[in-house]
Amino acid sequence: MNLQVEMKRHRDTLIVRLIGELDHHTADGLRLSLDEEIAKDGLRHLVLSLESLQFMDSSGIGVILGRYKLIKQKGGRMVVCGVNPPVYRLLEMSGLFKIMSVYENESAALSELEVAL
């Protein structure tokens, strides 16, 4: 079980691409690296790109919810994009889409965040 994380900053938005599997083995490492990036000055928004995430369990939902709260405290927005069907179903069942918007791809998510500013 392996998770690769790519992070890229675009203005005041952090784009995080998850590749592989987000489960109880990989959740703590992701949590720590995201918290470190979110704490940096000038960062307000987070785009979570899940196009290459093949599997996620409840540990992943916990990581996402926790980072959502951190971004919200900074007055920003967190959105997800590029979600494949199995992960989409899990996020939908968890109720995550009631608090977080989902977009087809990164550019649609970034466009929405910049319009919302």
Cα pseudo-dihedral 91, 93, 94, 99, rounded to 10: 70
Planar angle of CA 34, 39, 42, nearest 5 degrees: 115
The domain made up of 3-116 has a fold known as Transcription Regulator spoIIAA (3.30.750)
pLDDT grade for 110, boundaries at 50, 70 and 90: very high
The domain limits of the chain are 3-116
pLDDT at 54: 95
Give pLDDT tens digits for 44-65.
999 999 999 999 999 999 999 9
Q: What is the mean pLDDT of the chain?
A: 94
